[in-house]
Amino acid sequence: MSQRSRDWLLTGIPRAGTSLCCRLAGQLPNTVALSEPIDSKIFADTQDRGLAYERICRFMAQTRQRILAEGRAESVHVQGRVDDNMVATEVADAALRRRRTERGDIRIHKPLSPDFTLLVKHNALFAALLPLLTRRFSCLALLRNPVAVLASWQTVALPVQRGRVPAGERFAPDLCAALAAEADALQRQLIVLNWFYEQYDENLPRAHIVRYEDVVTTGGAALYRALGNAHPSEALANRNANALYGSNVEHLLAVLQRERGAWWRFYTAAECERAALAIRNGGAATSQESG
């Protein structure tokens, strides 16, 4: 088995469901899926993309060896498990939802062969380095309806709520400069959103770009197909109609419609309008999309 088929890197738009996909991938036999295991401190001394690529390659090899030797690996987790959602479902101070995860070792209990599949998820870091990472690794990207993404970003106590993605900006100087020059937080969010869609459109084949809505409607099968596996499906809830998103969804929809963003390469105007309607109705209207 080739290194490319054994090692997968999962990237995605923040709040697009990559945590869910990481959990689903981890259910595959002979597979370990880790959520954001690479400590950003290993890049603290460099903004060199080539050096970052080399350190990611080394991390993947060392992690694989440690899993086989010790049955442990570092990951962002919730009480020792890779969970569907990294932020709380309820609001905290300043009406923002905060992370409920911690970083540390998790136990790997399943039987593994020496050539097991290792999937590692990082959103902005891997998006910024895709042109290099695709030389060695199989890379997969997760998208989500841009209305739901923007609406979610308004509710979370994460850098993206301010229109910043530090891990991406470190290795994408053009993105960093564009964000530094923009004073308005929502406009920065649009720059970030467009950047993610462009990175995936320009660097990945369509077979390795998966929509959150398709993962949900197929019970995970859309993800498993992209990974080249078959696995029993499970009932999944579409979170696009989250009632927490609804405070200014009509404004967000109007802003998206005025822009010629790269999200239109993957979603239609009708899909965005349906998502906005579902959010406004707090889930009363369906937000399931046909793919």
Phi, psi of 154 (to 5 degrees): -70, -15
User: Is residue 58 assigned to a domain?
Assistant: yes
Q: What phi-psi label fits residue 290: left (phi over 0), alpha (psi between -120 and 50 degrees) or beta?
A: alpha
The Cα 189–Cα 186 span in angstroms is: 5
User: Is residue 288 assigned to a domain?
Assistant: no
In the block, residue with structure tokens 């350190």: 55
Asked if residues 4 and 137 have their Cβ atoms less than 8 Å apart, the reply is yes
Ordered alpha helix ranges (H), the chain: 3-6, 18-25, 49-70, 124-128, 130-133, 146-153, 166-171, 173-180, 185-203, 212-217, 221-226, 249-258, 269-280
Domain count, the chain: 1
The pLDDT of residue 247 is above 70:
yes
How does pLDDT run across 178-211, given as a tens digit for each residue?
A: 999 999 999 999 999 999 999 999 999 999 999 9
CA distances from 272 to 112, 142, 263, 269 (A): 42, 17, 10, 5
User: Is residue 46 assigned to a domain?
Assistant: yes
Which tokens hold the place of 67?
């899993």
User: Is residue 290 assigned to a domain?
Assistant: no
| pLDDT for residue 100 | 55
* Banded model confidence at residue 285, pLDDT cuts 50, 70, 90: very low
**What single DSSP character describes residue 289?**
-
Show the domain range for 222: 3-280
User: Is residue 104 assigned to a domain?
Assistant: yes
Query: CATH no. for residue 138?
Result: 3.40.50
User: Is residue 258 assigned to a domain?
Assistant: yes
User: Is residue 291 assigned to a domain?
Assistant: no
User: Is residue 138 assigned to a domain?
Assistant: yes
Residue 102: CB atoms within 10 Å: 11
pLDDT mean across residues, the chain: 90
Task: Give the predicted TM-score (pTM) of the model.
Answer: 0.90
